[in-house]
Amino acid sequence: MLNKVHHVTYVVENVDDMAAYIERNFSLTPIRSDEFTERGFKSILYQIGDTLVDFFQPLRDDTPTARQLRETGPGVMHVAWGVDGIGQLFNDLQANGNDMRGDGPSASPFGYLTASIEPASSHGIYFQLAEGEHS
Question: What is the SS3 string spanning the chain?
Answer: CEEEEEEEEEECCCHHHHHHHHHHHHCCCCCEEEEECCCCEEEEEEEECCEEEEEEEECCCCCHHHHHHHHHCCEEEEEEEEECCHHHHHHHHHHCCCCECCCCCEECCCCCEEEEECHHHCCCCCEEEEECCCC
Q: Report residue 133's pLDDT band, with 50, 70 and 90 as the boundaries.
A: confident
Residue 135 confidence (pLDDT): 67
Spatial separation of the C-alpha atoms in residues 108 and 118, rounded to whole Å: 17
For residue 110, what pLDDT is reported?
86
CATH number at residue 120: 3.10.180.10
Predicted structure pTM score: 0.88
State the Cα–Cα distance between residues 17 and 9, nearest whole angstrom.
Answer: 16
The pLDDT of residue 41 is 96
Q: Which phi and psi (to 5°) does residue 42 adopt? A: -110, 145
- The 10s digit of each residue's pLDDT in 95-127 is 999 999 999 999 998 889 999 999 999 999 999
Contact criterion met (CB below 8 Å) for 132 and 109: no
Please tell me the predicted confidence (pLDDT) of residue 109.
Answer: 86
- Find the mean pLDDT for residues 3-9: 95
List pLDDT tens digits, range 38-91: 999 999 999 999 999 999 999 999 999 999 999 999 999 999 999 999 999 999
Question: Domains in the chain: how many in total?
Answer: 1
Domain that holds residue 117: 2-131
pLDDT, position 18: 98
